[in-house]
């Protein structure tokens, strides 16, 4: 699904280049649940932003589902993003002025799905995530765990092939975190490819492979011996 070669990202201040990512080579297979780990400042979130085509300022080669992303124009990258990628963030990023139902409907409107069809898809998603009773509530009326559940539902409502999850359990207590990770693993078992960033070794082991970043370099990677 994803192939990255010699990917680099830096910020320039005067004559000084500060590298965030250095010579990244990475493959992500269709149907994989990959974990990216590393200390703060290691480049994890930057890498996720590039894979999600939210950041276009980098060098190297990046192929996604056969598309040469490095050769695409920004508008073409945005279209790939909308068609194939869902995001789950640590801070939820729900729109406070919209209800749960309306938050779930937004990704579908980006894909020009008819309103009548959107209603059915949102209803199915509310039922799938067991949040039908929350559909008319606003994010500030939900607990942290409930907000993250809605955020995951929003990420998958348009049936993306890839979910990028940036510390999806970072603001949750352990039982809520396990609920979210169990949900992501279930989605992966149904065929969704997932790349997650986490500091938590327990959550990292939900995946099949762990890639370790340090100071922008891939320091190593290994298979997870015992999958949960």
162-181 pLDDT tens trace: 999 998 887 778 887 888 89
226 falls in which pLDDT band (50, 70, 90)? Answer: low
- Lowest mean per-residue pLDDT among 36-40, 119-123, 156-160, 213-217: 156-160
Helix axes 115-128, 144-156, angle to 10 degrees: 130
Report whether pLDDT(221) > 60.
Answer: yes
Report whether pLDDT(223) > 50.
Answer: yes
For residues 107 and 98, is the Cβ–Cβ distance under 8 A? no
Q: Taking all residues of the chain, what is their mean pLDDT, rounded to a whole number?
A: 91
- Which SS3 state, helix, strand or coil, does residue 183 take? helix
pLDDT higher at 110 or 165: 165
pLDDT the model gives residue 5: 97
What is the mean pLDDT of the segment spanning 84-105? 91
> How is domain 2-94+159-223 classified at the CATH fold level?
Rossmann fold (3.40.50)
pLDDT the model gives residue 51: 97
58 falls in which pLDDT band (50, 70, 90)? Answer: very high
- What are the counts of helices (DSSP H) followed by strands (DSSP E) for the chain? 7, 10
Report whether pLDDT(63) > 60.
Answer: yes
Bridge partners of 7, per DSSP, are 24
pLDDT the model gives residue 228: 46
CA distances from 134 to 5, 49, 87, 153, 170 (A): 44, 30, 21, 12, 23
What is the mean pLDDT of the segment spanning 123-144? 93
Please report the DSSP string for 163-175 in residue order. Answer: EEEESTTTTS-HH
pTM here is 0.89
Domain ranges of the chain: 2-94+159-223
**What share of the chain has pLDDT > 90, as a percent?**
71
């Amino acid at each position: 699904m994803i192939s990255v070669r010699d990917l680099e990202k830096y910020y320039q201040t005067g004559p000084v280049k500060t590298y965030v990512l250095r010579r990244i080579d990475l493959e992500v297979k269709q149907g994989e649940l990959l974990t990216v780990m590393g200390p703060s400042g290691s480049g994890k979130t930057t890498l996720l932003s590039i894979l999600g085509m939210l950041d276009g300022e980098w060098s190297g080669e990046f192929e996604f589902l056969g598309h040469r992303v490095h050769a695409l124009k920004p508008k073409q990258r945005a279209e790939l993003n909308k068609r194939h990628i869902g995001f789950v963030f640590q801070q939820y990023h729900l729109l406070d002025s919209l209800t749960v139902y309306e938050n779930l409907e937004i990704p579908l409107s980006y894909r020009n799905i008819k309103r009548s069809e959107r209603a059915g898809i949102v209803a199915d998603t509310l039922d799938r995530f067991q949040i039908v009773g929350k559909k008319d509530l606003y994010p500030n009326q939900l607990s942290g765990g409930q907000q993250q559940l809605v955020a995951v539902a929003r990420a998958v409502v348009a049936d993306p092939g890839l979910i990028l999850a940036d510390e999806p359990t970072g603001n949750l207590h352990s039982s809520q975190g396990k609920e979210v990770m169990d949900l992501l693993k279930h989605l992966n078992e149904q065929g969704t490819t997932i790349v997650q960033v986490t500091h938590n070794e327990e959550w990292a082991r939900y995946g099949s492979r762990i890639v370790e970043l340090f100071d922008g370099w891939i320091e190593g990677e290994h298979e997870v011996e015992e999958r949960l």
